[in-house]
Structure 1
Amino acid sequence: MSLRDDIQADIAEAFDNDLADAVTSFTGSRETAGSYDPVSGTTSTTTTTYIGRGVFDDYSIREIDGQHIKRSDQKLTALQNEVTDMPQVDDTIDGFTVISVGNDPAAATYTIQLRKT
């Protein structure tokens, strides 16, 4: 078993037990432009929906700079192997817009910055 697998198993266990009251299921979506129809003059859109679970948290006062991270922003920590598609900037997750997506060095979790839309 790799380090990543070990970390994900440990975090999943914590999500199921010790952190169960803080873990929330979420739904994300992304709209992408499809093909242009020259007859109607419209472009179709495709919506990709994904699910996962994670812990929503506030940013600490030291992290808030008022420009890149605002006081009302949320930090979502989600287990990568439980999210059905990789979140991307400008996606919508539970009424928030994704501002940035990062991951830990072992690529076991996503850290997602969310801003209320």
Structure 2
Amino acid sequence: MGLRDDLQADIAAAFDEDLADAVRAFTLTRVTTGEYDPVTGEQTSTTETFSGRGVFGRFKAEQVDNQHILATDEKLTVLQNELGTAPADGDDIDGKRVMTVGQDPAATSWTIQLRDA
């Protein structure tokens, strides 16, 4: 196992044990808009859902600038190997809109900024 695998295994174990009280399941919903059909006048769309778990929290006061990060925004930390897809701006997680997605240097987790839709 490499370093990345070791980190993910350690964090997953913490999610199961030490952080179990803070970890919450969620559903990520992604709607992909297809092409417009001029004959029918409709645009097709595809909806995908992914289940995951993570730690929901808040941003530090010094990070809140009320422009890019609002005081009401939530911070979600998710293991990359447990979600099944990379979250993207505009996705929906439990009724909140994904604003930004960051990745840690070891590529083991995502930090997701969520905002009320």
TM-score normalized with structure 2 length:
0.96
1:43 paired residue number: 43
Question: 1:34 Cα deviation (Å)?
Answer: 1.8
Aligned counterpart, 2:84: 84
Q: Which residue of 1 aligns with 2:59?
A: 59
Gaps in structure 2 of 5+ consecutive residues: none
Q: In the TM superposition, what is the alpha-carbon distance from 1:38 to its structure 2 partner?
A: 2.7
Task: Using the aligned pairs only, state the percent identity.
Answer: 56
Aligned position for 1:115: 115
CA deviation string 1:48-102 (max 9, x = no partner): 1111110000111111111111000000000000002111000000111000001
d(CA) in 1 for partners of 2:59 and 2:89? 18
Match for residue 103 of structure 2? 103
In the alignment, the residues of structure 2 paired with residue 49 and residue 86 of structure 1 have an alpha-carbon distance, to the nearest angstrom, of 12
Q: Which residue of 1 aligns with 2:7?
A: 7
- 1:65-76 map, 5 Å: 65-76=65-76
- Under a length normalisation based on structure 1, what TM-score does the superposition of the two structures give? 0.96
Partners of 1:95 and 1:43 in 2: CA distance? 23
Instruction: Tell me which amino acid in the other structure corresponds to 1:36.
Output: Y
Work out the CA distance in 2 between the residues paired with 1:102 and 1:79: 12
- Structure 1 unpaired stretches of 5+: none
Q: Secondary structure at the match of 2:21?
A: coil
For 2:24, the aligned partner's letter is T
Structure 2 counterpart SS, 1:81:
helix
Aligned length: 117
CA RMSD of superposed structures (Å): 0.8
Letter in 1 for 2:47: T
